[in-house]
Amino acid sequence: MTRITTFYPRRGRVSGRHEDALTRLWPRYGVDIAQPWTPLDQQSLFGRRAPLVLEIGSGMGDATAAMAAADPARDYLAVEVFPPGLGNLLAVVEEQDLPNVRVAQGDALHLVRHMLAEGSLDAVHVYFPDPWPKARHHKRRLIQPDTVALLRSRLAVGGVLHCATDWADYAEQMAEVLDADEHLVNLYDGYAPRPGHRPLTKFEQRGIAAGRQIFDLLYRRG
Ligand SMILES: C[S@@+](CC[C@H](N)C(=O)[O-])C[C@H]1O[C@@H](n2cnc3c(N)ncnc32)[C@H](O)[C@@H]1O
């Protein structure tokens, strides 16, 4: 199945620091999302097989690094199409000597569909996905019934899909789609209280500055 892309054609040049980090650290920490598809080998990528968290659309990656630093027993794979963000995350991973972060560049949906085994994830984080506010663009939103079914299939039973957004109508769409998936169970009655383990992200800060409310949704694979 091919799907229209969920991201904007980008935007932003790679600075010297980020380019340097990408060049030097990619062979050690990077995963290419490219054909021919190769199943992800967690043992050789991380040097262990800990519970694996996938973050889709990690942006500049500062929140990813903070979460991974606070949660050393799990491994974090951050996926982003935007090279400067990946370069920034790699630079932070090196500075903070974080052993449990790896990064993948490209469309996360290709990675999930073609490179991740069913039941292989402990959690999927989708924090402030591109909102595509115009109605004619809603089909580009990441959280749709088909992508949720795909993401859920890669979660282990008991694994958690955690979405957050600052767009009220997208939050409603997320709740509708997640509630409709009969294999997902809402961990809360409606929206979740802001989880203490989710750091403030860059786009969340923008949303708050613009006066928007933040919505968290946490669902477990039943
Ligand atoms: C609005 S930004 C949010 C970034 C970050 N999570 C934050 O809260 O600051 C959404 C990010 O998701 C990325 N993205 C959107 N669709 C994606 C996909 N299919 N695969 C990988 N990254 C994607 C975009 O490139 C963009 O950087």
Average pLDDT over residues 100-107: 97
Average pLDDT over residues 106-135: 97
Answer yes or no: is the C-beta of 108 below 6 A from any ligand 1 atom.
Answer: yes
Q: What angle do CA 125, 126, 128 make, to 5 degrees?
A: 135
pTM of the model: 0.96
- Domain assignment present for residue 7? The answer is no
CB 138 within 8 A of CB 176: no
Answer yes or no: is the C-beta of 203 below 6 A from any ligand 1 atom.
Answer: yes
- Domain assignment present for residue 76? The answer is yes
Average pLDDT over residues 90-115: 98
CA distance 83 to 19: 9
Q: What is the position in ligand 1's atom list of the atom closest to the CA of 5?
A: 19
CA distance 49 to 57: 23
Is pLDDT of 206 > 80?
Answer: yes
- Domain assignment present for residue 122? The answer is yes
Q: How many structural domains are present in the chain?
A: 1
Please give the pLDDT value at position 4: 86
Average pLDDT over residues 22-36: 96
Distant-in-sequence, close-in-space partners of 46: CB < 8 Å, separation ≥ 6? 75, 99, 100, 102
Is pLDDT of 11 > 90?
Answer: no
Please give the pLDDT value at position 2: 53
Q: Give catalytic residue positions.
A: 130
- Domain assignment present for residue 64? The answer is yes
Average pLDDT over residues 113-120: 98
Please give the pLDDT value at position 8: 83
- Domain assignment present for residue 9? The answer is no
The dihedral through the CA atoms of 130, 213, 201, 110 has a sign that is: negative
As given in the structure block, the two tokens for residue 50 are 């800990």
CA distance 155 to 161: 8
Using pLDDT thresholds of 50, 70 and 90, give the confidence band for residue 89: very high
Residue in 2, 5, 6, 53 to alter for ligand 1 test, most ligand atoms within 8 A of Cβ: 6
Is pLDDT of 68 > 70?
Answer: yes
Average pLDDT along the chain: 95
- Domain assignment present for residue 68? The answer is yes
- Domain assignment present for residue 42? The answer is yes
Residue 181: Cβ-neighbour burial (10 angstroms; 0-12, 13-18, 19+): middle
Using pLDDT thresholds of 50, 70 and 90, give the confidence band for residue 41: very high
- Domain assignment present for residue 110? The answer is yes
pLDDT per position as a tens digit, 147-178? 999 999 999 999 999 999 999 999 999 999 99
Residue nearest to atom 12 of ligand 1 (CA): 57
Answer yes or no: is the C-beta of 170 below 6 A from any ligand 1 atom.
Answer: no
CB 93 within 8 A of CB 25: yes
State the residue range of the domain holding 117.
Answer: 31-221
Query: Which CATH number does the domain housing residue 95 bear?
Result: 3.40.50.150
